[in-house]
Structure 1
Amino acid sequence: MAVLSPSRTDFRYLQLSRSIEQQIRDGVWKCGDKLPSVRSLCREQGISMSTVLQAYLELEKKALIESRPQSGYYVSYWHRQLPPVPGASQPSALSEVSEPDDMIRKVYSQLGREGLVPLSLSVPCDALLPVAKLNKAMIAAMRELPGSGTGYEEVQGYRPLRRQVARWSLSWQGHLNEEDIVTTAGCMNALSLSLMTLTRAGDTIAVESPVYFGILQLARSLGLHVLELPTHPQTGVEPDALRAAVKGGKVKVCLLVPNFNNPLGSCMPDAHKKEVVEILEYYGVPLIEDDLYGDVYFGDARPRSCKSYDESGNVLWCGSVSKTLAPGYRVGWVAPGRHKEALIRLKHYHSIASATLPQAVIASFLENGRYEHHLRRLRSTLQANAFQFIRAVSRYFPEGTRVSRPQGGFVLWVELDPRVQTASLYDAAIRQGISITPGRMFTLQQQYHHCMRLSYGHIWNAELDNTLKRLGRLVHLELGA
């Protein structure tokens, strides 16, 4: 797999659309302003009419501009129309543990219901995945593998996949080789093996707050105590807060999602990542890095991972294609650093080996460039969807609603009026065929009762817009408005 620079991968229409988008966001072009005509831009930029039209189409998809028949293109974005961003979380360091298992079971028991709009499910819908190409790759793998892939693989994992994952690490300035990687059954399996390698029942781990409920359930199933850290919805955990948490010596492991945390969508700045790695190395606390969403970025380049700053093997970097390519294939990996041998032993005890066929399919996608091609389209769609969802929440939800501004990933964090209980809102929404994720699921404490997570990994259309309109009405009703 060749890692291409932005200058080679960006088409001219994308460069033009990004330039105009930046000017719109900077206020150079204001809401209601008429943009230059297609013909005038062709003359000024020395480009074709189709290039300009494609650029304007990209801006339309992001709801930044609108086309008016017989008139031209006009700016429809206005930053004051957008709701404010939630504030940083302030979890208690001494709170009693209150597990939301009943609520989690309740939400997930409904997901297979026919006709349900699953805004609670943080994966891309099937229409956004290259299903036909995956099927062809699976058939090819069955033809090419010894025994059609029915034999056991080596415990560390399918070597061609490990090689491709190592090469892919160049995209975030990683320096891995195939011997550094252990394949797993998805990212949760990578996190599970990492935690079992590093902890024993009764240990304390530090995590973001809010954090993906699967991580909380995993930690509690292993008998671990969980310390929730204050987290900003845009920049993630502050290094000073992390330092204060670990310097007492009670935290055994830190588990963070630095790139596009689920559910906040926060992305830790590179300087913070470097500082976090240095802090944890100084205090002898390993870092398990969940980098599941790192490839789904909306900027010009993939954000770096904490692992890229790791010089001692203290960071266990975990990833997967479960959120980007094939959720059901359960293909993931971990670069365990200095803990590799211990983790491989655990993998052998628990699963003997990983399934060969799906690993071979993913290796093929990485090697021939199909994965990067798919990601470019997926990222463009999700970025447009995120803005459409934010606009819809601004339009249909009560004044005072706060919404995150993810720069990648699949989910929005919505903070409602404190009088709204999203657990009861969930019940009302389910009756109308809409599934949301109540915020209380993302903590072990009594907090986030007025928050919820929404997934925008769907095809945006009028029906989805109407779904958000109906959800907004339900919020108004919860407030008695």
Structure 2
Amino acid sequence: MAQLNHSTTSGKKRKHAENLKETLYLKIAKIIEEQIQNETLRLGEKLPSIRSAQKLYNVSINTAKQAYLELESRSLIESRPKSGYYVSKTSQRKLALPTVAKISGTEKEKTPEDLIDKVFGTIAKSDFTQFALGIPGKNFLPLAKLNKSLINTIRRRNDGGTNYEPVQGNEHLLREVAKWALVLEGKITEDDLVITSGAMNAIYNALMAVTKPGDSVAVESPVYFGFLQAIQLLGLKAVEIPTHPIFGVDLDALKKVLPNIAACCFVTNFNNPLGFQMPDENKKELVRLITEYNVPLIEDDIYGNLFFGAERPKPCKFYDEAGLVLWSGSVSKTLAPGYRVGWIAPGKFKDKIIRQKLVQTVCNPSLYSDVIADFLEHGRYDHHLRTFRNKLYANYQQIQRAVETYFPDNTKISQPKGGFMLWLELDKRICTEDLYDAAGSQKINFAPGRMFSQYNQYNNCMRLNYALEWTDRVENDLEKLGKLIKNSI
């Protein structure tokens, strides 16, 4: 008994020390944030080094580093290679954050299928400035290297890519994805993964595996419209949870409905459409909640590698011990949208996912799997991502400046920590569905906010994609869009 008490006491002390460390780094981050807000630290000014901050605040080097990473994740500071940390250009925001929607369960549910079809109808219109769809511009992709790799892959294979590969997936690709997923720190192996036809195929299969028709699925609000369509097709019910533009889904609101939920489906890193990065503390609590209620979490981590900070954020899967998190990713947003190469680590639902895949597609096209595996194995993907992230961050700064310059002063704008989606909330008198038609007549498109809910809400909101080559035309079209909005008030 004495040994048990000693063990319990040691555990409590360790937990107290961990909580103290978390509190310390957040306190330091808050002090520096206030210095930035009151302009004690000015735009572009260099911060003390991490070692100097350690001495200044009398904390460990890790605590000082965590404080800086926290500030960087909020886009308040930015790191410059071999130079240090500086107050970010995005820290002095002129416009407010979007409001958190109040979800009314009494409203009639209706997925905006016609509007989604209309927006996707512009996918092949090269004469449009494409702010609407979540597809990176061609100039962001290493097309020549992909083509070369594809040719080399065909030459190496003696079957010309015509043979079936294993149902679970191309063994080379499974191995490379597992090796490359360093953010999970070895918590998944190649045997834990299943290759899918992109991330949306992974999400659909995950929903099939953990639900039955009539079940309810918790989603963020606003929510990526593809989730709503998948839920509807499977005969499920979406339960929209209020979501903060910085911290993510409201965990208190989620806890109230969890007893009646069959699954959760969230984008926790660089959310689509809000762009937030859920804090690690919230991710831990989310995993604790779903474990307590035994509710699977389908985690779409498709944007996780497109971070603006110093390191890739961990997914909820990292904290999962019960096998309840089905973690999915793909190269569709980062490397090759049309290859349709994705994957899922389905935890304890792996066997069911593999059986479903056998019925649906048997296997994936082996050539594309080999090309992506080759990119991963030889470091080409890492090199590409570094360039891609730099371009995205530059574009984010450009589009934020353009919105602040050309849009009405009461516009509210999200603060993405990565990815390439910007969410705007306009004057309540604006209907962005009507605005979409007016902008289309000028060869400009965007995603109207109504697409991101099953209810009649977000009508005065829009989502803009900024993963496109920044040209004078892009700048001019944002100015035109701003004028259209001002003329509609």
**Residues 363 and 26 of structure 1, relative CA distance in 2, 3 Å threshold:** farther
Alignment correspondent of 2:114: 102
Residue 193 in structure 1 maps to residue 205 in structure 2 = yes
Match of 2:177 among 165, 171, 177: 165
- Superposed CA deviations along residues 53-94 of structure 1, whole A, max 9, x for unmatched, are xxxxxxxxx9x9xxxxxxxxxx99585552111122222234
Alignment correspondent of 1:147: 159
How far residue 114 of structure 1 moved from its aligned partner, in angstroms, is: 3.9
Match of 2:305 among 292, 295, 304: 295
- TM-score, length-normalised on structure 2? 0.82
CA distance in 2, matches of 1:309, 1:156: 24
Question: Structure 1 unaligned runs (5+)?
Answer: 1-21, 36-61, 65-74
**Residues 81 and 184 of structure 1, relative CA distance in 2, 3 Å threshold:** closer
Alignment correspondent of 1:253: 263
Q: How many residues are matched?
A: 420
User: Is the Cα contact below 8 Å between 1:172 and 1:303 reproduced in 2?
Assistant: no
The aligned amino acid for 1:108 is F
CA distance in 2, matches of 1:422, 1:127: 29
Residue 176 in structure 1 maps to residue 181 in structure 2 = no
- Superposed CA deviations along residues 221-252 of structure 1, whole A, max 9, x for unmatched, are 11110000010011111322221120xx2210
- TM-score, length-normalised on structure 1? 0.84
Residue 217 in structure 1 maps to residue 229 in structure 2 = yes
Q: Percent identity?
A: 47
**Aligned to 2:358, what secondary structure does the other structure show?**
helix
Alignment correspondent of 1:4: none
The aligned amino acid for 1:220 is Q
Alignment correspondent of 1:17: none
Aligned CA RMSD, in angstroms, stands at: 2.3
Residue 338 in structure 1 maps to residue 336 in structure 2 = no
How far residue 113 of structure 1 moved from its aligned partner, in angstroms, is: 2.3
How far residue 146 of structure 1 moved from its aligned partner, in angstroms, is: 3.5
Match of 1:419 among 429, 435, 440: 429
**Residues 26 and 364 of structure 1, relative CA distance in 2, 3 Å threshold:** farther
Residue 392 in structure 1 maps to residue 397 in structure 2 = no
User: Is the Cα contact below 8 Å between 2:264 and 2:295 reproduced in 1?
Assistant: yes
How far residue 165 of structure 1 moved from its aligned partner, in angstroms, is: 1.0
Match of 2:329 among 306, 319, 339: 319
CA distance in 2, matches of 1:258, 1:146: 42
Alignment correspondent of 1:86: 98
**Aligned to 2:195, what secondary structure does the other structure show?**
strand
Residue 431 in structure 1 maps to residue 448 in structure 2 = no
Alignment correspondent of 1:49: none
CA distance in 1, matches of 2:159, 2:401: 52
**Aligned to 2:326, what secondary structure does the other structure show?**
strand
Residue 460 in structure 1 maps to residue 470 in structure 2 = yes
**Aligned to 2:218, what secondary structure does the other structure show?**
strand
Alignment correspondent of 1:239: 251
**Residues 206 and 34 of structure 1, relative CA distance in 2, 3 Å threshold:** closer
Residue 476 in structure 1 maps to residue 486 in structure 2 = yes
- Superposed CA deviations along residues 385-438 of structure 1, whole A, max 9, x for unmatched, are 111111111100111100001010111000000000000100000001101110
User: Is the Cα contact below 8 Å between 1:174 and 1:307 reproduced in 2?
Assistant: no
